[in-house]
Amino acid sequence: MTVTAEPRRPDDATLADELADTRSVYIHIPFCRRRCPYCDFAVVAAGESRISHRTYVDAVLQDMRSEAPWFAISAINFGGGTPSAVEPGLIAELIRRVRDIADVTTGAEISLEANPEDWTEEFGEALRGAGVNRITFGVQSLDPTILGSLGRTHDATAAIQAISGARHLGFSVGADLIFGTPAESLQSWRATAETTLSAGIDHLSAYGLTVERGTALSREVAAGGPAPDQDDQADKYELTQLLAAQAGLVQYEVSNYARPGHHCIYNLSTWAQGEYLGFGVGAHGHRDAMRYRNVRRIEKYVELVTDGKRPWAGTERSEHHDYRIERLFLGLRRMAGVAVDETVVRFLATSDGQRYLGAGLVEVINERLVVTTPLLTDTVARSVLSLSPDDC
Amino acid sequence: MTDPSRIRNFSIIAHIDHGKSTLADRLLERTGAITAREMRDQVLDTMDIERERGITIKANAVRIEFVAADGHTYQLNLIDTPGHVDFSYEVSRSLEACEGALLLVDASQGIEAQTLANAYLAIENGLEIIPVLNKIDLPAAEPERVSREMVGVLGGTVDDVIQVSAKTGDGVGELLQAIVDRLPVPHGDRNAPFRAMVFDSYYDTYRGVVSYIRVVDGRVKVHEPVEFMRTGHRVEADDLGIMTPSQVSRKTLAAGDVGYLVTGTKEIEQIRVGDTVTSSVNPASEPLPGYEEPKPMVFSGLFPTDGDDFERLREALDKLRLNDSSLQYVAETSRALGFGFRVGFLGLLHMEIVRERLEREYDLDLVATAPSVEYRAGLTDGTIVEVRSPQDLPPTGKLAYIEEPFVKVMIITPKEFVGVVMELVQQRRGEMGDMTYLTEDRVEIHYTVPLSEIVFDFFDQLKSATRGYASLDYEPNEYRKSDLVRVDILLNNVSVDAFSSIVHRDRAYRYGKAMSERLRKLIPRQLFDVPIQAAIGSRIIARETIKARRKDVTAKCYGGDITRKKKLLAKQKEGKKKMKMVGQVEVPPEAFVAALRIDE
Ligand SMILES: Nc1nc2c(ncn2[C@@H]2O[C@H](COP(=O)(O)OP(=O)(O)OP(=O)(O)O)[C@@H](O)[C@H]2O)c(=O)[nH]1
Ligand code: SF4
Ligand SMILES: [Mg+2]
């Protein structure tokens, strides 16, 4: 990576494109205290499995060994589940193993998702020692009522303390927030966003609450319970954009904002179709034009790996056409958009493309196609996916 | 070849669900036409739609053999017919291929509207009727009362009624013997030139058009040259035979026989249901009287979702018409929907079935517009215009009057519901005719009602008002002047022809409001606010707005979600492909039939 005086803006177009050649590693830690009602990740809630953290991490370590060597990794990302639920020592072991199978570049992003409740200074120091340099807290909300309805047990104070504690130790600090829970007022959201931003975070991921299939929330909604509202979420989204900008964070993707120099390399790389290895239950990977996903059940995962097999539940090879379409549908989520190529030109020539240009929903700026209203990105994405192979 | 004196041809007719197909099962089973292994419920209902809905849509002919009390083997050609009023054309054609009919009545329900309608059809055709009381196994069966009802309608005595259970098979042996004893021997001259009636047909990709025929005179041998008399189409009989129910080739079919005929004909228009086949070497002098074309009750526009499929739709309609000769259609253009067809149907169920068959059997994706009856517009210059689609209505300035079709309705109901029935029909602008008691507690009431009032949702309302006890039949009557107006719908300030509807002036306001509200709910939010207005001429009578779409994005999309999200969007994209662009607005296909489901 080139060293520049000014840190680069997260929405920089060159940055967005250059990360296509970056490789990362994703490691999934599935353990959580309990399952939150809206969550559809691969999660093992306390008491759901007999498999210990140690056994699981051993399986992941073993699976890493079966991966062919790789070079120049720029990011290691621990996601979950709750990575902070396991001993930092185990995290350290996993990072060491990555270094065994790959060449981790200096200044690489080593990032971990943490639950504010798990934060202690000791914990932070142990992580630093292991090489973690970026931490994102699952704050979700600072309003106790909303936290309750999201099934969260921490309180606002713990969240703010965790953020400042991590800053103190020199981490690049991010917060994940959820807006648009049916019981949430606009004021409540404003307070959550403002307070979190002023705690001095470097990175913000703000997600509209989504009803995912198979979750407790979706069953409640199906039974007539209150559902998130499109207009309410749009209002809160627009407010978030405003507040983040005032706090000096630059929006660089539909749901992501960062201070210059603090963008998430791993994420930017995946949006640019970069390659990444995925380890652990439910993890996904992308290598040599193939996308794969791991089994979601922890018992199955451990069994497969112990048998010396790859824990894949499915693989998908990207065809040429799909791959070009995918570049657009991923890339358009970024504020940087995508560089105009033949596919973009074809798309703009379709009746949908023309309509969106006419309505100002998409624009071509500096030879790049961008979606001007990120809230309507999927409207554009569906039309992009409707391009037939002959159109490309 | 079976001697004509040992042949009996009959149809099984009844009100819907009284057990015709189940009785056919027992007849097939008892005579060994079908093995226990092949047997399943309503085995003759072979179409997917028939099995899914549990109703018969197509008449089905089968030959069975029965050893009667006299020790001789008799050839019985039976036709199982549909009971729903929309398919009565199938019944009338079936009856013309027979000398007799089994009139089935459910012993727990008694005589219902289509029992009477079908009985009258059989009588008009000069058929011998055997009254059959079915479902006597049911605890709710009232054999004495229902037998009396049947005698009341058909004459004869209670002893003429044969009691069966199509479920248990009770009485089926006795019924078979009665068929032999009581039904007439087919008339027709075996030495006369060959003449046969085409009573049904279908298209087979390999064999071309397959015709179902009833041989009236003479005989036909395989490989003989034949001629379809009305079209003049001359071909060779490639294959012929009988249905057992599967097709079995025979060398000859002779007067009295019912069978199939394959001529390798691929030009669909050469073979028509109702035509007469004769020998081209020794032709008959006169064709048999053909069928009267049924009069469509409702018309609706059918448009391919993908404009490129117009020709495929035409071909599909041509082929389907072979198997559904009541289908009538002409090409039409809509500003909103492009090229399609205005199709006439015998009722809403018929419309639903045709659309479903086109989509399934011919792999088409269709948009249907709200059905409409056929109006007549009298112009100021004295000419009269037929209005099968609201768009056809001439501008108000040229209009002198509008007439709408009325139908004669027969409703049969238990006495205690007479009050609610009367009220219901009153709201539908109905005019009461006479009322007769079938028995002391069941009443037959006659009405004259505008067709548009009963063809859409009246039956559902009648059923729910009478807890399912009333039944209904109707036939076309006359045209009468009515105070009708066209309500137009403007979407984004542009009138959408496919949304227009002709309604009675007293209802126009309520209709316009309900329709706008419904469309607001059915049309997804767009990139901009979309006004919906209902108008009579230039007067706006209702208004709604579809607010602009504000959020359409998945919150998260990271490494792990890429494939999943792509799949999700790809699925949504399929829904989007079905959308019709009307001006700048994406409209889902359901919106075009919205008018149908307006509950007032
Ligand atoms: N208990 C009893 N049920 C019967 C009998 N005959 C028919 N059913 C039932 O009545 C229902 C309708 O039977 P079908 O044979 O499909 O009636 P259908 O007259 O052919 O109906 P359509 O062709 O739709 O007019 C089915 O559920 C049968 O199982 C019977 O003798 N006894
Ligand atoms: S939302 Fe986070 S903490 Fe809650 S169950 Fe899912 S992964 Fe675990
Ligand atoms: Mg039937």
CATH of the domain spanning B298-371: 3.30.70.870
Give the C-alpha distances (Å, rounded to integers) separating B379 from B376, B382, B385, B484.
10, 5, 8, 14
Provide the greatest CA pair distance for chain A: 59
Cis before A81 (ω within 30): yes
For chain A, list the domains and their CATH numbers: 13-271 (3.20.20.70), 320-385 (no CATH)
| Residues A329, B563: C-beta atoms closer than 8 Å | no
Each domain of chain B, given as residue ranges in start order, spans: 4-182, 195-279, 298-371, 376-482, 486-597
pLDDT band at A332 (very low <50, low <70, confident <90, very high): very high
Task: Categorize the per-residue pLDDT at B233 as very low, low, confident or very high, splitting at 50, 70 and 90.
Answer: very high
The secondary element (H helix, E strand) that includes residue B100 is strand B100-106
pLDDT in tens, A113-132: 999 999 999 999 999 999 99
What pLDDT shows up at residue B573? 86
CB B210 within 8 A of CB B204: yes
Q: What is the pTM of this model?
A: 0.78
Please answer yes or no on whether B563 and A231 come within 8 Å at the CB atom.
no
Strands B399-414 and B375-379: antiparallel
Judged by phi (left if over 0) then psi (alpha if -120 to 50, else beta), residue B102 lies in: beta
Under an 8 A CB cutoff, do A291 and B563 touch?
yes
- Residue B600 banded pLDDT, cuts 50, 70, 90: very low
Gap from CA of A35 to ligand 2 centroid (Å): 6
Q: Is residue A84 lining ligand 2, measured as CB closer than 6 Å? A: no
Superfamily covering domain B486-597: Elongation factor 4, C-terminal domain (3.30.70.2570)
Residue B598 has pLDDT above 70, yes or no: no
Ligand 1 contacts CB of residue B134 (under 6 A):
yes
Q: Which of B13, B21, B60 has most ligand 1 atoms within 8 Å of CB, for mutation?
A: B21
Say what the pLDDT of residue B597 is. Answer: 64
Cβ-based neighbours of B234, under 8 Å, separated by 6 or more? B225, B226, B227, B228, B280
DSSP collapsed to 3 states, chain A: CCCCCCCCCCCCHHHHHHHHHCEEEEEEECEECCCCCCCCCCCEECCCCCCCHHHHHHHHHHHHHHCCCEEEEEEEEEEECCHHHCCHHHHHHHHHHHHHHEEEEEEEEEEEEECHHHCCHHHHHHHHHHCCCEEEEEEECCCHHHHHHCCCCCCHHHHHHHHHHHHHCCCEEEEEEEECCCCCCHHHHHHHHHHHHHCCCCEEEEEECCCCCCCHHHHHHHCCCCCCCHHHHHHHHHHHHHHHHHCCCEEEECCEEECCCCCCHHHHHHHCCCEEEEECCCCEEEECCEEEEECCCHHHHHHHHHCCCCCEEEEEECCHHHHHHHHHHHHCCECCCEECCHHHHHHHHCHHHHHHHHHCCEEEECCEEEECCHHHHHHHHHHHHCCCHHHC
Residue A298: name the closest of A56, A63, A91 by CA.
A56
Pairing of strands B471-482, B442-450: unpaired
Chain A residues 142-171 within an 8 A CB cutoff of chain B: none
Is A388 within 8 Å of chain B by CB? no
CATH of the structural domain B195-279, one choice from 3.10.20.30, 3.30.70.260, 2.40.30.10, 3.30.365.10:
2.40.30.10
Number of Cβ atoms within 10 Å of the Cβ of B550: 17
Is A114 in contact with A83 (CB distance < 8 Å)? Answer: yes
Q: In the predicted model, is pLDDT for residue B75 greater than 90?
A: yes
DSSP assignment letter at B492: T
Kindly determine whether residue B570 and residue A355, on different chains, have CB atoms separated by under 8 Å.
no
Say which range, A5-14, B146-155, B264-273, B588-597, has the weakest mean pLDDT.
Answer: B588-597
Q: Is the CB of B500 under 6 A from ligand 1?
A: no
Beta bridge partners, B443, equal B413, B437
Task: Please name the fold of domain B4-182.
Answer: Rossmann fold (3.40.50)
Please indicate whether residue B18, judged by its CB atom, sits closer than 6 Å to ligand 1. Answer: yes
The residue nearest atom 5 of ligand 2, judged by CA position, is A35
Identify the bridge partners of residue B279 per DSSP, sorted by sequence position: B226
CB-CB neighbors (< 8 A) of B555 in chain A: 207-210, 254-255
Nearest Cα of chain B lies from the Cα of A207 at a distance, in angstroms, of 5
* Nearest CB to A293 within list B528, B557, B563: B563
Ion ligand 3: residues, CB within 5 A, are: B 20-21, 56
How many C-beta atoms surround the C-beta of residue B1 within 10 A?
A: 14
Q: Is A36 in the pocket of ligand 2 (CB under 6 A)?
A: yes
Q: Which residues of B41-59 are buried (b: 16+ CB within 10 A; e: fewer)?
A: ebbbbebebbeebebbbbb
Interface of B with A in 498-557 (CB under 8 A): 525, 527-528, 547, 549-557
Report the b/e string of B273-310 with b at 16+ CB within 10 A. bbbbbbbbeebbeebbebbeebebbbbbbbbbbeeebb
pLDDT of residue B574: 85
CB A240, CB A213: distance < 8 Å: no
The secondary element (H helix, E strand) that includes residue B147 is: helix B143-154
CA separation for the pair A95, A76 (Å, rounded): 8
Give the model confidence (pLDDT) of B154-202 as tens digits: 999 999 999 999 999 999 999 999 999 999 999 889 999 999 999 999 9
B301 three-state secondary structure: strand
**Residue entry with tokens 């309990």:** A34
Q: What is the pLDDT of residues B451-464, one digit of tens each?
A: 999 988 898 889 88
Ordered DSSP codes for B194-252: PEEEEEEEEEETTTEEEEEEEEEESEEETT-EEEETTTTEEEE--EEEEESSSEEE-SE
User: Candidates B11, B16, B17: which one to mutate for ligand 1, based on the most atoms within 8 Å of Cβ?
Assistant: B17
For residue A91, give both structure tokens: 């995290």
Backbone φ, ψ for residue A220 (5° rounding): -60, -45
Rounded Cα distance, B339 and B303, in Å: 7
Task: Return the axis-axis angle of helices B113-124 and B88-96, rounded to nearest 10°.
Answer: 30
Taking the centre of ligand 2 as the mean of its atom positions, its distance from the CA of residue A80, in whole angstroms, is 7
Mean pLDDT (chain B) is: 93
Closest CA to B211 of B283, B251, B270: B270
The Cα-based distances of B382 to A15, B376, B502 in angstroms read 77, 12, 21
pLDDT digits (tens, 9 = 90+) for A265-305: 999 999 999 999 999 999 999 998 899 999 999 999 999 99
A70 touches ligand 2 (CB under 6 Å):
no
Which secondary structure element, helix H or strand E, spans residue B407, and what is its range?
strand B399-414
- For the B376-482 domain, the top CATH level (class) is alpha beta
pLDDT at B342 over 70: yes
3-state secondary structure of B499: helix
Interface of A with B in 350-369 (CB under 8 A): 351, 355-356, 359, 361
B598 Cα: distance to centroid of ligand 2 (angstroms): 45
H/E run at residue B386: strand B384-387
CA of A302 to the centre of ligand 2 (A): 21
Alpha carbon of A129 to ligand 2 centroid (Å): 26
> How far is the C-alpha of B414 from the C-alpha of B471, rounded, in Å?
10
| A81 Cα to the center of ligand 2, angstroms | 5
Confidence of residue B216 (pLDDT cuts 50, 70, 90): very high
Of A237, A270, A326, the CB nearest to B558: A270
Give the pLDDT confidence of A194-239 residue by residue, as tens digits: 999 999 999 999 999 999 999 999 999 999 999 999 999 999 999 9
Measured between CB atoms, does A375 come within 8 Å of chain B?
Answer: yes
User: A163 falls in which pLDDT band (50, 70, 90)?
Assistant: very high
Same fold, B376-482 and B486-597: yes
Q: Which ligand is nearest to the CA of B16?
A: 1
Percent of chain A beyond pLDDT 90?
A: 88
Which atom of ligand 2 is found nearest the CA of A151? 4
- Count of CB atoms within 10 A of residue B73's CB? 11
Q: Which of residues 204-223 of A touch B (CB under 8 A)?
A: 207-210
